[in-house]
Amino acid sequence: MFSLDAPLTPRELSQLDRERVWHPYTTSPTDSEHPVVDSAEGVRLRLAEPVHGVDELIDGMSSWWAAIHGYAHPELDAAAHAQVDRMSHVMFGGLTHENAVRLAATLTEITPESLDHVFLADSGSVSVEVALKMCLQYWRGLGRPEKRRVLTWRGGYHGDTWHPMSVCDPEGGMHHLWRGALPEQVFAEAPPAGFSAEADADYLEHLEGLLRRHSGELAAIIVEPVVQGAGGMRFHSPEYPRRLRELADRHGVLLVFDEIATGFGRTGELFAADHAGVAPDVLCLGKALTGGYLTMAATVASGRVAEGIAGGEVPVLAHGPTFMGNPLAAAVARASLRVLLRDDWRARVRRIESGLASGLAPAAELPGVRDVRVLGAIGVIQLDRPVDTAAAAAAAVERGVWLRPFRDLIYTMPPYVIADEDLARVTEAAVAAARVG
Ligand SMILES: *Cc1c(COP(=O)(O)O)cnc(C)c1O
């Protein structure tokens, strides 16, 4: 009998998993054991078999920024069920359907005003590929094919496919491994840390210097505004993205904001760009777009970009994934946006922000803790050395909480629906993880 349907105990599943399956950033085969999740509801993951005596974990990670309304949300479930009964998928080449059109139109309504053309991609990395393709093609359309490099700052993360990888932090992205293979982009230093109103004059001068030197070959600047996520969970002043808008305009370069992690309220504004009060030329969205149900992302561009591409020798945006605009994902994304915009997301994020600030504060007193920071529904404990990730994660699991520490960081971005008692358990677990990590 094939493993598809053979009876397997959780033990045997785990064993097969270790022998056969790659997980994110792991070897295969591997020694490390992954808890088997059987189902999930609200903020809780139910395990197929207890781990450290615990059979339910509060998800402090929202499945990597995505599950903002928690699991098995009645409205999202209903939208998915209804759509499965109509059609799960239909090709987007030459055909269209209501969910994709309404979703795209809504995205243009809630994102900064100048953004009004939408490409529905099938993952965050692909949306970044498409954003960069748009920018390069825009300059080709204008007869400037030499403008094909990209400027970014260090400490960023934009995904794991080829062009996104080229703009990830050179050390975090292991660029040394790919020398000669990855396109070589222009890197600024990481933006000075700290969410504040001020910008550092020397740093702005550094950015401007790079633009002065490279603008003739630059198609675009790409950054994560205000919060750099997987590249190090660093916060910076909204003044930097605001100044990047000015610099991009002055030096004739397009500006791309990657809000795949920060979009849909996570930082306390609907989009992190709103902290800066500026619009990029192209915006990438993903992760929470479908409330964490299905993989879908969006690249939203201004009319100027769309027209530049349309005016080129090859006027089409030559990109078209098989599962583009997937109706099932689009239906759930519509439901997720409806719930987000109807319920008071701002109040929820603010409540989580204050719970994280008070709950994580004790970590600041621990030896080996370098920094504790909170912005919106994101809480971070940074150590002064690499975390013992296995020990830290186990300390959280023992307290009934799922966290996934990496590098020198223990961090949480809980679902917006988390109750205060559960949030307190998450912060206690994070502090306990910092103590052993
Ligand atoms: C997660 C992430 C990506 C990549 O998205 P995938 O859906 O994993 O391909 C890109 N940029 C940012 C800022 C992200 O957080």
- Residue 337 shares a structural domain with residue 291: yes
Is 238 marked within a binding site?
no
pLDDT, tens digit (0-9, with 9 covering 90-100), for 320-329: 999 999 999 9
pLDDT tens for 211-223 read 999 999 999 999 9
Instruction: Give residues with Cβ within 8 angstroms of 434, minimum separation 6.
Output: 363, 366, 368, 369, 381, 383, 392, 410
Residues 304, 251, single domain; the answer is yes
Predicted confidence at residue 303, as pLDDT, reads 98
Give the CATH number of the domain where residue 155 resides: 3.40.640.10
| 116 Cα–ligand 1 center, Å | 22
Pocket test for ligand 1, best of 61, 161, 287, 326 (most atoms within 8 A of CB): 287
Residues with CB under 6 A from ligand 1: 123-125, 128, 157-159, 224, 229-230, 258, 260-261, 286-287
Whether residue 9 is annotated as binding a ligand: the answer is: no
393 shares a domain with 314? no
Among this protein's residues, is 133 annotated catalytic?
A: no
Does any domain span residue 14?
Answer: no
Give the per-residue pLDDT at 429. Answer: 98
Distance CA 12, CA 23 (A): 17
Q: Is 411 a catalytic residue?
A: no
Q: Which residue of 62, 125, 283 sits with most ligand 1 atoms within 8 Å of its CB, as the best mutation to test the pocket?
A: 125
- Per annotation, catalytic residue among 5, 25, 31, 202: 25
In a domain, 4, yes or no: no
* The ligand 1 atom nearest the CA atom of 64: 1
Residue nearest to atom 15 of ligand 1 (CA): 261
Looking at 315, 342, 369, the residue that finishes a domain is 342
pLDDT at 127 over 80: yes
Closest Cα to atom 3 of ligand 1: 159
Any domain includes 27: no
In a domain, residue 22? The reply is no
Convert the pLDDT of each residue in 130-184 to its tens digit.
999 999 999 999 999 999 999 999 999 999 999 999 999 999 888 889 989 999 9
Q: How far is 382 from 389, CA to CA, in rounded Å?
A: 13
My answer on whether 212 and 291 are in the same domain is yes
Q: What confidence tier does 237 reach under pLDDT thresholds 50, 70, 90?
A: very high
173 labelled binding-site residue: no
Residue 141 lies in a domain: yes
Tell which one of 61, 158, 257 to mutate to probe ligand 1, the residue whose CB is within 8 A of the most ligand atoms.
158
pLDDT range class, residue 2, cuts 50, 70, 90 = confident
Q: What is the CATH number of the domain that holds 384?
A: 3.90.1150.10
Q: What is the mean pLDDT of the chain?
A: 97
In this structure, the answer to whether residues 398 and 352 fall within a common structural domain is yes
User: Is there a single domain that holds both residue 281 and residue 361?
Assistant: no
Q: Annotation-wise, does 322 bind a ligand?
A: yes
The single residue of 71, 122, 133, 157 carrying the catalytic annotation is 157
Dig out the tokens for 378 from the structure: 């994101």
Q: What is the mean pLDDT of residues 250-277?
A: 98
DSSP H helical ranges for 116-270: 124-141, 162-166, 201-214, 239-251
- 352 and 371 both lie in a single domain: yes
Chain centroid, CA 368 distance in Å: 28
Q: How far apart are CA 242 and CA 231, in angstroms?
A: 21
The verdict on 54 and 197 lying in the same domain is no
Determine if residue 22 is labeled as part of a ligand binding site.
Answer: no
Does a structural domain hold residue 19? no
Judgement on whether residues 247 and 109 belong to the same structural domain of the protein: yes
**pLDDT range class, residue 58, cuts 50, 70, 90:** very high
What is the span of the domain harbouring residue 404? 35-64+344-436
Structural domains of the chain, count: 2
Q: Would residue 71 show up in a list of annotated catalytic residues for this protein?
A: no
Q: What is the mean pLDDT of residues 368-387?
A: 98
User: 54-59 and 234-235 as β-strands: parallel, antiparallel, unpaired?
Assistant: unpaired
Q: What is the pLDDT of residue 355?
A: 98
The pLDDT of 394-419, averaged and rounded, is 98
According to the model, what pLDDT value does residue 437 have?
82
Question: Is 287 part of the annotated catalytic residue set?
Answer: yes
Beta partners for 374? 379
The closest alpha carbon to 168, from 242, 60, 260, belongs to 260
Identified catalytic residue from 169, 281, 287, 422? 287
| Residue 152 belongs to a domain | yes
